[in-house]
Chains A and B, each alone.
Chain A
Amino acid sequence: MAVSLAESLHIGVADIATRKVRSLVTVLGIVLGVMCIMVVLAILAGMNESTLQWMQERGGLSKVEISYNWQYDFRQGGEAKFDLDDLRKLQSMIPEVKAFNPNISVWDARTRYRDQYYNSQCIGVFPDMQIVENWYPDKGRFINEVDIRENNNVIVLGSAVAEHFFGARDPLGQSIMLNNQMMKVVGVMSRKYFKSNGGEMWGGENALEYMNHRNFIPLSTMINKISPGSKVDQVEIIAASPEAAITLKAKLEPIVRQLMDGKRVFRVESAQEQMQQMKQSSMIFSAIFIMIAAISLLVGGIVIMNIMLASIKERTREIGVRLAIGARRVDIFVQFMVQTVLITALGGVFGIALGYAILDVVGDYLQMPMVARFDMIFTALAVSVGIGLIFGIAPAVKAGNLDPVTALREE
């Protein structure tokens, strides 16, 4: 009859309980390794999640953006500007897209209501802005096709601007001045909010607060009345799907370059691609940390193996006695195998607990979202048990192969 696994577990627990300090020291490497895995996995999951949320808040993964190319050397000629002809041509070449929003920003536009002034960003847009940003007015309406066609003097206020001028009063139908043009307020945008990751450094609690200071007017009104002669330097496009966005990006690059006389004055970026790149770089990051964790686990495993070997040398006589009273080799093997695995599993549990504690502290400190999921705990535990199984074999084989007579003679 073999000694049952429950019996071996019982022996193992008792053995560890009588050698508490040694067991704890033995397992330090495993604790640190498992903790490292936990923390890295949680940080990565948190990063991925908040990046995804951020992207979705900014127009989703189907977004493709044509914008000023900072890397282009403008001394070589060319100007990053589309006129209305360019835009019409561009739009006609990509009929498959869901939304097309060229825009011009005036960064420091002066608005006045009665005797109050307020300087903020004013953007000339197409109605598709709403689809692109997934952002709609709270009150009234947005810019429409008629406004574009007829160069209407209408304005849609950002929630912060409306608050500044009108407080609790209704802004709809009121007139405000924008660069000496009388503009009629037709709508107020809903408030944008995204919980900030970076604390004060990134503009306080709401990472999107700057958007609430934007006012919108028709693109045609901007070009023809407010800022005459200005041209479009940014186009936001929404493709049918994130996958289509990548194709669209590839299709747009040569078209845009051709429109700009072959000069790379614009860059074309797809959110999906950025997301993939970000995931890729976070994969590299995680690979490095997992490697560090793996090395620390390997070292931890070797330490455990050596301590177990030493422990078996010390307990040779005990093994001899057990053999003399009828323990089989397999009983001895299982006894030490179970003990090693118990120690490493214990280390894994400590590592998980420590990892959680650190996540809490680090998460609070960095104000970074960290996601600890059940599968991470499972992974960490499986890894520590695996280490025990691998590095427990050599000591257990050595113990099981002891000759009873020699073992009994050992002092």
Chain B
Amino acid sequence: MEIIKTTALVKDYNLGNVKVRALDGIDLTIDAGEFVAIMGPSGSGKSTLMHIIGCLDRPSSGDYYLDGDLVSSLPKSALAGIRNRKIGFVFQSFNLLPHLSILKNVELPLMYAGIAPGTRRKKAEEILASVGLSDRLKHKPNELSGGQRQRVAIARAIVNSPSILLADEPTGNLDSQAGGDILSIFHQLHAAGNTVIMVTHDPAVAARANRTVMIRDGLIDYGSIAG
């Protein structure tokens, strides 16, 4: 079943008087349950693609279907709900809120989903237990190691049971030991049936995915597809 389908996706940016084309017609289909790595050099457009897939941004033209819905035609105000329910983000720099305990951080998506405090607390505790952080619930993010922080970020991304998990260089700020642990978690999640899309520079990381999509100059470079 297709969970993501884009056709002729184009994104232009206006930098002063100069128009820059970041995406130049991307046709990409990802099935539910896939683990896809997106690779490409800096400035290739892979981040822009991630933003559009993650509903943080909208294409200049072209269609984007998520879960069968044409989300590229939705107004910005509707995208917040899509992000909340269907997408889980994991960032390179973790992006946890520093003043909140890790429990509160994980509760945030549930709060914006309008779930009652008691329920969401219970759910957040369960998810944090599943990534091995039960004994750290009251800690602030800066009291944790990088690997632990990224595990909190993953917990926050999956707590609302999203359709896709979007990870942007999730191991980029970690040492190889912690990075390996994080990748194992993604593989476990994939094995449990989640769709994972991961942007990475690291061929070793990409090698563990089902499929690698190479982006170059705003287009998919089919010549370099590995696996």
Contact = CB atoms under 8 A, between A and B. Distances in A.
Contacts of A320: 95
B147 interface: no
B49 to A, nearest CB: 12
Nearest to A320: B95
Nearest to B112: A326
B56 A325 contact: no
B109 interface: yes
B112 A408 contact: no
Contact of A325 (B99, B112, B114): B112
B56 A324 contact: yes
B77 interface: yes
Interface stretch (B31-39, B78-86, B188-196, B207-215): B78-86
B62 to A, nearest CB: 17
B57 A405 contact: yes
A4 B114 CA distance: 8
Contacts of B170: none
Contacts of B84: 325-327
A324 B54 contact: yes
Contacts of B156: 325
Nearest to B52: A405
B97 interface: yes
Nearest to B83: A326
A323 interface: yes
Contacts of B99: 14-15, 18
Given A1-B113, A14-B99, A328 B51 contact: no
A373 B57 CA distance: 55
B113 A322 contact: no
B131 interface: no
B97 A321 contact: yes
Interface in A327-358: 327-329, 331
A322 to B, nearest CB: 7
Nearest to A407: B56
A327 B111 CA distance: 9
Contact of A1 (B89, B108, B114): B114
Contacts of B77: 328-329
Contacts of B81: 326, 328
B184 to A, nearest CB: 24
A18 B97 CA distance: 12
B113 A326 contact: yes
Interface string A1-33: 111100100000011001000000000000000
Interface string B80-102: 11011100010100011101100
23 contacts: A1-B113, A3-B112, A3-B114, A18-B99, A318-B97, A321-B96, A321-B97, A322-B108, A323-B83, A324-B56, A325-B89, A325-B112, A326-B80, A326-B84, A326-B160, A327-B84, A327-B112, A328-B77, A328-B80, A329-B80, A404-B56, A408-B91, A408-B95
Interface of A: 1-4, 7, 14-15, 18, 317-318, 320-329, 331, 404-405, 408
